[in-house]
Chains A and B, each alone.
Chain A
Amino acid sequence: MHVGIVIFKKLSEYAKEIDEVPYIYYEDALDRLKYALKAGTIPIPKGRELKEKEFALTFMAERSLLANANHPYLTNRVAIAYAKSIANTLTTKELMEIAELLGINIKGDKIHVGDFLRYSPNSKDYSLYYFEVHNGYVKLNEQKLRRIIEEVIKKKLSTQPKGKDERIKDMVKELLEAIPKKKVTVHTGEMAPCMKELLNRLRRHENLSHYARWSLAVYLINRGVSVDDIVKLYSALPDYKEEITRYQVEHIKKKAYTTPSCLKMKTYGLCVAECGIKNPMEYGKHGKHNR
């Protein structure tokens, strides 16, 4: 059975059977997490993990390690690794099965428009204009369905698990040490509250939306921050890829985009204060602001 299906179907059954995951599974779990952290994908199950139940126990141990580490970068990075690996390796039949397990409203090759809007990437390739939309359902090809399933899994697995287990203290320490550390200080003077918030969320390793990333990058470029510094800053993103990030930030610089207006920021739910200005760039320019 595919690991994805084990996770979303069998896990709850196995979890009922056992009180505590035996210690030996934690060693495998630690190795797997360190691998995911480094590679951005999950390792192929080997040895005892090949057995469904054994894999389930290892996965539970992984969740427990993530809970104890309580580090958003770690949780998000692992969630993305699982999501990508699962979505890309399911057979078509398994893909449909997992969609159902995840509670997605699917009928054949069509997905409910609500789920489509919730889970599809916000890019031109997923603009509703170019799909068959009929009676509440959007027709998808398999590749796009995979991408959406990936997004759903990512969302499900990036909820921070909770729990405390003293037995694994040292392992947690080892795991936390494996997180790449790149501290960057960006001297931006006084930042607009919305941008400061985005920067803080970035530093907490939250998986910012495409629009949030774009707005912050445009703002920082317009405030004179270098491409290098922005790329370093964005390395805190759990799905960070240096090459892609650099390309996109350089593109922003080349195109010389204007910073999105406060209205736009509001529309995207990114506005956090009433500053009485029209564009985040104006913040701090004309003396004091309300908040």
Chain B
Amino acid sequence: MESIIDELFSNYYRRAKIFIPRIEEREFGIGYDKKIERRHLSFFTEEALRKFLVEEVPRYISYSIAYYDKPAAEMKNKGWKGADLVFDLDAEEGSLSSLKEIQRQAAELYDILKGEFGIKKALRVFSGNKGFHIHVYDEEFRELGSEERRRIVEYVSGKGFDYTHLFSKREGGMIRGPKPSEGGYRGRFARKAIELAREQKSPLYNFKSPSEREAFIKGVEEGIWSKIRAKNPIERFGVVVEHLGVAGIDVDGAVTYDIKRLIRMPNSLHGSTGFRVLPLKSFDDFDVEKAVAFSDEPVDVILKEDVKGVELLNWKEDGKKGEKKKVPLYIAVFLALKRKAIISS
């Protein structure tokens, strides 16, 4: 491919901030046409890695979430010592709205990991294409196997959640259930139920009077759910699940289960877009434009196919196949990497 892109990438890596915890224990993998073409590479220092990136200029660089005794050895001799807990959320398509939705889910996942799983050291990144990653470094999770990690993914996805398990029937028709002050799904369920009970036309139950409503709410606050005249109260509480909203964080489970996975290096460039794999302070203030790595200096390109703007980058110009155009450098790189254009200057 065009040497101008090699030059741009190489220049980027000359100055890029490279920060990889325990770099010497990780395996690296690189690719030119796809994510991984060579693996079992290892680097002792960040400077050695930088030198490699500046000279070899791979389009894709990833490292193992796992720590090894011998990261460059073949798989069975590496000596697995643990792995970061990693989550990968990918938008279904490259559109802005799809990315926004996955961004919202990533933020929610991060909140659950922090509030419920108690994680303290985590890196949030934009994946450089159409998704987000969360790398959890906390020691307590490092040695979890695939099966344990699968259970975490299941928990955040909400799959198989059966709310009736939150309730138990006691003598005299008393129903015990979760309290709003509790953590996890229990507390979330109770808080949502109270919220629904407070609505004027409550989907939970047609309360006959304000005092009836208050009595129910007060009961729930203490974990007693039977202060309601409904016939089958537990059945009725099913409506809460529909409003819960937390169920359904769509994590790519295969990434989390795989304790030897190679994951895109934060702050590297994504070879399909030219975007930075951007570390984020918060999922809320992310904007694709912040991941742009190159300037807006105009350059000439020759289009290899019809182009109708780049929605992600809010670039709205069209062009026909064979046309010569002046476009900002970062657009040129994006189009060139998508094989839609050739940079000619």
Contacting residue for B186 out of A117, A122, A130, CB 8 A: A130
A267/B117 in contact, CB under 8 A: no
Residues of A within 8 A of B253 (CB): 267
CB contact between A132 and one of B146, B155, B160, B183 (< 8 Å): that residue: B183
B143-186 vs A, CB cutoff 8 Å, 1 = contact: the mask equals 11111101110010000111001100000000000000011111
Chain B residues lying within 8 Å of A127, measured Cβ to Cβ, are 160, 165
* Chain A residue at minimum C-beta to C-beta distance from B166: A130
Question: Which of the 9-residue segments A70-78, A134-142, A157-165, A179-187 touches chain B?
Answer: A134-142
| CB-nearest residue of chain B to A133 | B184
Q: Is the CB of A131 within 8 A of B146?
A: no
Indicate whether A133 sits within 8 Å of B147 (C-beta atoms), given known contacts A127-B160, A128-B184: no
- Report Cα–Cα, A113/B183, bound state, in Å: 12
Q: Which residue of B lies closest to A268 (CB)?
A: B147
Q: Tell me what chain B mostly uses at the interface: helix, strand, loop, or mixed.
A: helix
A133 and B160 in contact, given A114-B140, A117-B152, A128-B155 (Cβ under 8 angstroms)? no
CB of B300 to closest CB in A, whole Å: 47
Please tell me if B119 contacts chain A, counting CB pairs below 8 Å: yes
CB distance from A197 to the nearest CB of B (A): 16
A269 x B148 contact (CB < 8 A): no
Q: Most chain-B CB neighbours within 10 Å: which of A122, A134, A268? A: A134
* Interchain Cβ contacts within 8 Å, total number: 81
A118/B144 in contact, CB under 8 A: yes
Interface residues of B in 168-222 (CB under 8 A from A): 182-187
From 117 to 131 in chain B, residues with beta carbon under 8 angstroms from any chain A beta carbon are 117-119
Q: Assess whether A268 is in contact with B146, with CB atoms less than 8 Å apart.
A: yes
A113-B117, A124-B165 are known contacts. Are A132 and B184 too (CB-CB below 8 A)? yes
B53: min CB distance to chain A, Å = 32
Contact with B along A92-114 (1 / 0, CB 8 A): 00000000000001000000111
Q: Which residues of A contact B165 (CB under 8 A)?
A: 124, 127, 129-130
Interchain CB contact under 8 A, A131 and B151: no
Which of A137, A209, A269 touches B118 (beta carbons < 8 Å)? Answer: A137
User: Which residues of chain B have a CB within 8 Å of any CB of chain A?
Assistant: 115-119, 140-141, 143-148, 150-152, 155, 160-162, 165-166, 182-187, 253-254, 257
